[in-house]
Amino acid sequence: MIPVEAYLVVSTLLFFIGVYGFLVRKNLIGILMAVELILNAVNINFVVFNRFLYPDHLEGYIYSLFVIVVAAAETAIAISIIINVYRKLKDVRVDSINELKN
Amino acid sequence: MAEYLTSIDFAGLFTADNIVFFILSAVILVCGFMSVASTKLLRAATYLFFTLFAVAGLYLTLSYEFIAAVQLSVYAGGILVLLIFAIMLVKNLGTDTETISYVNKTIAGLSALAGTVFAFITMSKFRFISSEGANDAAAKVDMEMVGQTLMGTDRYQYLLAFEAVSILLLACIVGSIVIATKSKED
Amino acid sequence: METITNLSPIILALPFLMFLFLGLCGNKLFKSNPNIAGWIGTAGLSVVAIVSYYIAIQYFWVEGKGADAYQQFVLFNHEWLKMTDNLVISIGFMLDPISAMMLVVISTVSLMVHIYSLGYMHGEEGFQRYYAVLSLFTFAMMGLVVATNIFQMYIFWELVGVSSFLLISFYFIKPSAVAAAKKAFIVTRFADMFFLIGILILSYYTNTFDFLKLTAVSDGHATLVNTKMCGEMFMGLSVTSIAMFLIFLGGAGKSAMFPFHIWLPDAMEGPTPASALIHAATMVVAGVFLVARMFPVYFFEAHDVLTIIGYIGAFTSLFAAIIACTQTDIKRVLAFSTISQIAYMFVALAVSGYTSEHEACLGYTASMWHLFTHAMFKACLFLGAGCIIHAVHSNEMNAMGNLRKFMPIAHITFLVSCLAIAGIPPFSGFFSKDEILVAAFEHDKVLYACQAFVAGLTAFYMFRLYFRIFWYSENPAHAHHTPHEAPMNMNIPLIVLSVFTCFTWLDKVFPFFPEKITADRVGYELETNWIIAIASILVAVVGIAIAWVLYLKKNDKPDMIAGKLKCLYISASHRFYIDEIYLFITRKIIFGGICVAIAWFDRHIIDGFMNLLAWISRELSYDIRDVQSGNLQQYAWGFLVGVLAIAMFAINY
C-alpha cells in the first residue's frame, strides 16, 4: 500500500518544478507549459486526497475534472493571445513584451 | 519524514504497486524537470507530454479511470496539440535554443527549493489519517456516480459548478476566436 | 426723518452701481462715443450730490438739532459679518455733523471733477474706465464718512486706497505712473496695517466696533473705553494710547503725514482732476476725519497721543511748506501744499478741547472748517493747474509765465484760491486758518509760532507759484502753440469752486461751522480774535510781498538767495532726501542686510528641508519603481515569496 505522503511528495516536487519553470522560462509558451505542470501537481493532490481521505464522495474527483476543463480553456485563450502578441510584436519573449509600459 | 523513512518496510518495497508508483513518479518528475529545463521548446513539449501521460497513469493506479481518460484526451490530446501548434505557428520557436542566465536560474531554483522545503516541513507536522475505504485502493468509481455528482443538486453534488464551467467554456470559445481573428487592418 | 432714511441708501448704492455699469459694460457699450459714459457718470453723481445736499440741509436745519446738541442718527445698519455676539461688522449709514458736512464736500468736489473731466479727459484712452473708477472712489469715500463702525470705515478706507491706486496708475504705460501707484499703495497699506492692529486692540478690549458706543461720553470720560481699557498697560504704555496711536498711524498714512508723506507728491502722476478729487480734497483728509471721528477717545483717554499728533502735524506742515518753496513742478508744489494744509488740520484737532463752553472746542471746529475750505480751494487750484497743464503741455514752471493774458478765467479763479490759501480775507482760507491759529495760540504757543510761520511760507510759495505761472517772464517758452482758454465744461467747475471760496465770509453773518460742527455737537458763538487775525493777515501779506519782489518779473534775486542758502535750498529741493532715506532703509538695510539673512535661511534651511523631503521621496520612488518592472516573472517571484511568507506565518501561528 502506497502512503498518502508519497503522492504528496511527488505532487509537491512537481509543483515546484513548475514554479521553477515559470520563473526561468523566457517565452510565453514555455511559461504556459510550466503552468500546466503546476495544475497537474494540484490535480494529483485533489485526486489523492479524495481517494485516501474521503473515498465516499467525489469532491476532489469532480474538482480535478473542473481544473482540467479550466486548464483547457485557459490554454486556448492564452494561446490565442500569444498568437496575437506574436502578430503584433513578432516576439513572444516576456522581457520584450513591454509595450504597455510606455 | 524521518518517521516515514523508518517505518518503511524495505522487504515489502518491491510490490507491483510500488514499482509502478516509483516508475510513474520517476517519469513525472524527470520529464517534468526536463520540460522546464530543456532549451528547445519542442522538446520541452514532448517531455510535458510524457509527464501528462504518467500523471494519467497515476490516476489509473488510484482506479480513477475516468479522470485518467479525461487527462489523456483533454491534456495529452487537446492542450498539448494546441501548444505544439502554437510553437509551430510562431516562427523559429521550435528550433531556437533558449539561454537563461545563471543568476535567474539560481534565484528561481533557490526560491523553488525554499518552497519545497517549506512544504515538506509543513507536511511532516501533520499526519494524514486514511479513512476506511482508502485501503481499498482498487475500489472502482462507477460512471453513474460520477454522473450523479456532476448533474445532481444535492449535497456533494455540483450542478451549479458544472453549469458555471460550461458557460466559462463557451466564453472561452468565443473569446479565443475573437482574440485570434485577424482584424481587417492587420 | 423718514425721507432721509429712505434716501440715504442712494448715496452709497448709486455710485457703486455706476461703477459696476461703467466698469463692466462701459468699454463695450460706448466704444464709438465714450463721452456718453462720462455724461452718465456725471448725471449719476448729480443725483448723488442733490441727495447729499438734501440730506445735509434736512439734518442741519430740520431734523438734526436735538434738545441741546446735534443728534447722531444711524439711518440704517445692516449686519454683515457676525464674529461673536458683540463683535459684529455692519454696513450702515451714520449721520452726524461731520459726516453730513463730508457728504457735501465729497459730492461737491466729485461732481465738479466729473464735469471738469468731461473736458480734461476728452479723447483719452480708457475714458470709461476713468469714470468707473471715479464712481468707485465716490462710493468708497461716502461709505467711509458715513461708517457706523470702525471696521466699516476700515473696509471703505481700503477701497479708497484701491481707487487711488487705480487712478494714479491710470496712464499705466508710463513707468513713472506705475511706480508712483505702487509707492502710494505700499506706503498707505503699510500704514493701514497699523490701523488694523489698532482696531483689533481697541475692539479686543471694548468688544465693539461701533462708533456710537466707542465715542459715547459721560463725566469727562469716553465711557466704554475708560471702563474696559483703563489701567491696561503694555510695556509701560497704556494700551489705549497704543491702540489710538496705531489708529492715528493709519490716518497719517492716508493723510500723508511725516514720515508717510512720500507717496503724495508722486501720486501726481495720475490725471490732474483725479489728483484734485483724491489727493487734494477728499481721500487725503480721511486721516483727519478719522481722528475727528474718534476725537472723544483721543481727547479723554489718549490725550498724550493727541499731543504727539499735534507735534507731528506741526513738523509736517513746516517741512512740507519748506519743500513746496523749492519745487518747480506745479503739481508737486500743490501736493506739498496739500500735505502742509492737512497737517494744519491735525494740529487744529490736537489743540482742541471737547466742550463747546468758552469756545474750548474751537480747534475741532477749525479743523473741520479748514477741511471744508481747503477741499474747495485746493480742488480749484488743482483743476486750475489742470487747465494750465492742458494749455502748455507741461508741468514745469519754466514752460509757463505770462499766462494771465491767455487764460483769464483760470487766472482769476487761481488767484482767488491762492488768496484763500494764503489767508487773505474775505476768502475762505482766512477764516478757517485764523481759527486754527487762535486755537493753537490758546493751547500751545510753540505750535502757534510754528503754524504762523508756516502760514507765511504758504502765502510765499503759493504766490511764487501764482507769479511764476501768470506773470514772470514776458516771453515764456510755450510749447509749440499759443496757450488758449480751456473749454467751458472745464471752466464752470473752477468758477463754482471759487464761488464757494469767495462766499465763506457769509459764515460770519449766518454762523454755520461754530454752531453746528463741534466736538460735543452743542455749538457756540464764535468771537473773532482780532489780534491773531491781524497778525496772520500781516504774515500772509509779508509772504505775498516777498513772492512779489522775487517772482513778479524775471530777475536774479531768487538764484542769489538760493545761492546763499545753498545747503537748505538743495536739500529742500530734494525733499530733504526722505525718499533716499526710505530707499536706503529698504534697499540697503532691509533688502541688503536683514533680508539677505532671511533669504539665506529660507533658501537653504526651509527650501533645503523641502528639497531633502523631495529628494528622499524621489530616491525612494526610483527604488520602488524597479518593482513595477512589467516583468512577469519578477511579479511571479514576488507572488511566490509573498505566498510562502503568509503561509509560513499562518501555519506556524
pLDDT in tens, C429-468: 888 888 888 888 888 888 888 888 999 989 998 988 888 8
- A25 contacts in chain C (CB < 8 Å): 633
Q: Which amino acid is at C243?
A: A
* Mean pLDDT within C290-304: 88
pLDDT band at C141 (very low <50, low <70, confident <90, very high): very high
Cβ–Cβ pairs < 8 A, chains A and B = 226
- Which of 4-43 (A) contact C at CB < 8 A? 19, 22-25, 31
**pLDDT of B167 strictly over 50:** yes
Distance, CA of C292 to CA of B44 (rounded, Å): 103
pLDDT score at C617: 93
Q: Clarify whether residues B75 and B149 are in a common domain.
A: no
Work out the average pLDDT over A10-37. 91
The verdict on B164 and B89 lying in the same domain is: no
Option in B52, B108, B165 nearest A66 (CB): B165
What confidence tier does B57 reach under pLDDT thresholds 50, 70, 90?
very high
Cβ <8 Å between B111 and C651: no
Which is more confidently placed, A102 or C491? C491
In a domain, B130, yes or no: no
The amino acid at C555? N
pLDDT exceeds cutoff 80 at C86:
no
**What is the distance between the alpha carbons of residues B65 and B71, in angstroms, rounded to a whole number?**
10
Which of B99, B123, B151 is the last residue before a domain boundary?
B99
Spatial CB neighbours of C87, under 8 Å, sequence gap ≥ 6 = C203, C207, C208, C209
Q: In whole angstroms, what is the distance from residue B41 CA to residue A100 CA? A: 26
Tell me which of A7 and C356 has the higher pLDDT.
A7
Opening angle at CA C640, ends C639 and C645, nearest 5: 100
List pLDDT tens digits, range C496-514: 888 888 887 777 777 788 7
Chain C within 8 Å of A82 (Cβ-Cβ)?
Answer: no
**Would you state the pLDDT for residue B11?**
63
Query: How far off is chain B from A99, nearest CA to CA, in Å?
Result: 18
Identify the chains in contact with C, defined as 3+ C-beta pairs within 8 A: A, B
Per-residue pLDDT at C233: 76
Cβ contact (<8 Å) for B134 and A52? yes
Q: A touches which chains (3+ CB pairs under 8 A)?
A: B, C
Task: Take residue C29 and report the three cell numbers written for it.
Answer: 457699450
CB spacing of C637 vs A95 below 8 angstroms:
no
The answer to whether residues C544 and C460 touch, using CB atoms and an 8 Å cutoff, is yes
Q: Which amino acid is at C468?
A: R
| Mean pLDDT, residues B34-49 taken together | 89
CA dihedral C575, C581, C587, C591 (to 10 degrees): -140
Residue C458 is which amino acid?
T
Q: What percent of chain C has pLDDT over 70?
A: 99
Position C646 pLDDT exceeds 80: yes
- Minimal C-alpha gap between C621 and chain A (Å): 16
Taking CB atoms and an 8 Å cutoff, what residues of chain A touch B70?
Answer: 65, 68
User: How many residue pairs from chains B and C have C-beta atoms closer than 8 A?
Assistant: 16
Residue B146, in any domain of the structure: yes
Cβ neighbourhood burial of B4 (10 Å; 0-12, 13-18, 19+)? middle
pTM over 0.90: no
For residue B125, list chain C residues with Cβ-Cβ distance below 8 A.
651
Residue A59 touches chain B, beta carbons under 8 Å: yes
Nearest to C636 among A22, A98, A101 (CB): A22
3-state helix/strand/coil string of C298-361: HHHHCHHHHHHHHHHHHHHHHHHHHHHCCCCEHHHHHHHHHHHHHHHHHHHHHCCCCCCHHHCC
Give the cell for residue A69. Answer: 476543463
In angstroms, what separates the C-alpha of C639 from chain A's closest C-alpha? 11
Query: Residues 579..638 of C with a Cβ closer than 8 Å to B: which?
Result: 633, 637
Q: Which residue of C has its CA nearest to A98?
A: C630
Look at A23 and C636 and tell me if their CB atoms are within 8 Å.
Answer: yes
**Percentage of residues in chain C having pLDDT higher than 90:** 20
pLDDT of C387-418, one tens digit each?
A: 888 888 888 877 777 777 788 888 888 899 99
Residues of C in contact with A94 (CB under 8 A): 631-633
Nearest CA in chain C to A96: C631
Average pLDDT, chain C: 86
Higher pLDDT, C162 or C574: C162
Cell numbers 480751456 correspond to: C486
For residue C316, report the phi and psi dihedrals to the nearest 5 degrees.
Answer: -60, -40
According to the model, what pLDDT value does residue B30 have?
A: 94
Task: Sketch the domain layout of chain A as residue ranges.
Answer: 4-96
Helix (H, G, I), strand (E, B) or coil at C233: strand
Query: Does C477 score more than 60 pLDDT?
Result: no
Structure confidence at residue C46 as a pLDDT band (50, 70, 90):
very high
Instruction: Mutation target for B interface from A50, A51, A95: give the one with most B CBs within 10 A.
Output: A51
Q: Among A23-32, A46-55, B161-170, C228-237, where is mean pLDDT lowest?
A: C228-237
Interacting residues of C93 by C-beta distance below 8 A, sequence separation 6+: C8, C9, C11, C12, C74, C75, C76, C77, C146, C148
Q: Are C284 and C276 in contact (CB under 8 A)?
A: no
Residue of B nearest to A79 (CA): B86
**Mean pLDDT rounded to a whole number for chain B:** 83
CB B48 within 8 A of CB B80: yes
Interface contact flag, B29 A71, Cβ < 8 Å: no
DSSP tally for chain A: helices H, then strands E: 3, 0
pLDDT of residue C50 exceeding 90 = yes
pLDDT digits (tens, 9 = 90+) for C181-197: 998 999 999 999 999 99
Q: Give the chains touching B; criterion: ≥3 Cβ pairs < 8 Å.
A: A, C
- How far away is chain B from the Cα of C644, in angstroms, using its nearest Cα? 7
Residue type, A74: E
Shortest CA gap B99–chain A (Å): 9
| Residues from chain A contacting residue C632 (CB–CB below 8 Å) | 31, 94
Give CA angle at C370 (C365, C372), nearest 5°.
Answer: 100
Residues B32 and B84 occupy one common structural domain: yes
| Residue B5 scores a pLDDT above 70 | no
- CB of A94 within 8 Å of a chain B CB? The answer is no
Task: Tell me whether residue C161 is exposed, middle or buried, using C-beta atoms within 10 angstroms of its C-beta: 0 to 12, 13 to 18, 19 or more.
Answer: buried
C631 vs A contacts (CB less than 8 Å): 94-95
Does residue C349 contact residue C306 with C-beta atoms inside 8 Å? yes
Instruction: Please judge whether B111 and C641 are an interchain contact, meaning their C-beta atoms are less than 8 angstroms apart.
Output: yes
pLDDT band at C230 (very low <50, low <70, confident <90, very high): confident
Q: List the domain range (segments joined by +) for residue B20.
A: 2-99
Alpha helical stretches, state H, chain B: 2-6, 16-37, 41-61, 65-70, 80-89, 102-125, 132-135, 143-151, 159-180
Give a yes or no: residue B177 inside a domain: yes
What pLDDT, in 10s, does the model give residues C504-541? 777 777 778 878 888 888 878 777 778 888 888 898 89
Preceding omega of C259 cis (within 30 degrees of 0): yes
To the nearest 10 degrees (0 to 180), the angle between helices C239-254 and C175-206 is 160
- Cα C417 to Cα C436: distance, rounded to the nearest angstrom: 19
CB contact under 8 A, A23 and C632: no
Nearest chain A CA: its distance from B43 CA (Å)? 11
* Backbone phi, psi, residue C276, to 5°: -60, -45
CB < 8 Å to A71, chain B: 74-75, 79
- Is C640 in Cβ contact with A31 (below 8 Å)? no
Could you give the count of Cα atoms lying within 13 Å of C313 in the half-sphere of its Cβ?
31
Per-residue pLDDT reduced to its tens digit, B128-158: 776 555 555 556 777 888 888 888 888 888 8
Query: CA of C590 to nearest chain A CA: how many angstroms apart?
Result: 52
The cell 491696561 sits on which residue?
C232
Residue from C489, B64, B116, C270 nearest A16 by CA:
B116
Strand C233-234 and strand C221-222: the pairing is unpaired
Cell 485563450, residue located: A77
Least confident of A44-48, C284-288, C361-365, C565-569: C565-569
Gap between the Cα atoms of C337 and C322, Å rounded: 9
Selected residue with higher pLDDT from B150 and C558: B150
The torsion of the CA quartet C299, C304, C305, C310, rounded to 10 degrees, works out to 90
**Which chain A residues are closer than 8 Å to C633 by Cβ?**
22-25, 31, 94
- Cβ-contact C347, C451 below 8 angstroms: yes
Is residue B88 located within the same domain as residue B13?
Answer: yes
Over 60: is that where the pLDDT of A65 sits?
Answer: yes
- Output the CA torsion sign for C364, C365, C366, C367: positive
Give the model's pLDDT for residue A102: 44
Answer yes or no: is B54 within a domain: yes
Q: With CA atoms as reference, report the closest residue to C286 among C93, C96, C78, C106.
A: C106
* B17 and B93, same domain (yes or no): yes
The single-letter DSSP state of residue B182 is P
Is residue B113 in a domain?
no
Confidence of residue C203 (pLDDT cuts 50, 70, 90): confident
* Phi, psi angle pair for C143, to nearest 5°: -60, -35
Average pLDDT of the segment spanning A11-39: 91
Query: Does A47 score more than 70 pLDDT?
Result: yes
Which of C9-23, C344-358, C550-564 is predicted most confidently? Answer: C9-23
Interval B37-44 mean pLDDT = 87
Does residue B150 lie in a domain region?
yes
Residues from chain A contacting residue C626 (CB–CB below 8 Å)? none
Q: Is it the case that residue C610 has pLDDT exceeding 90?
A: yes
CB C40 within 8 A of CB C22: yes
What residues of chain C lie within 8 A of the CB of A95, using their CB?
631
Three-state secondary structure call for residue C30 = coil
Confidence of residue C69 (pLDDT cuts 50, 70, 90): confident
- 355-414 in C: which are within 8 Å (CB) of B? none
**For residue C33, which phi and psi values (nearest 5 degrees)?**
-135, 80
Architecture of domain A4-96: Orthogonal Bundle (1.10)
The answer for A 18-57 residues in CB contact with B (under 8 A) is: 18-21, 23-27, 29-30, 32-34, 36-37, 40, 43-44, 47-48, 51-57
CA nearest neighbour of C260 among C607, C620, C582, C612:
C582
A27 near A92, Cβ under 8 Å?
yes
Closest listed residue to residue C572, CA positions, set C397, C259, C258, C320: C320
What is the count of structural domains for chain B? 2
Of B69, B99, B129, the residue at which a domain comes to its end is B99
Q: Do B111 and C647 touch (CB under 8 A)?
A: no
Interface contact B107-C637, CB threshold 8 A: yes
* pLDDT value of position B186: 54
ipTM of the prediction greater than 0.85, yes or no: yes
Handedness of CA C634, C639, C645, C648 (dihedral sign): negative
Does residue B52 sit within a domain? yes
Residue of A nearest to C634 (CA): A23
Range with the poorest average pLDDT among B125-129, B180-184, C272-276, C305-309: B180-184
**B150 and B92 part of one domain:** no
By CA distance, what is B147's nearest residue in A?
A62
Q: Are residues B70 and B151 in the same domain?
A: no
Alpha carbons C21 and C29: distance in angstroms, whole number: 10
Q: Which residues of B touch C (CB under 8 A)?
A: 104, 107-108, 111, 114-115, 118, 122, 125
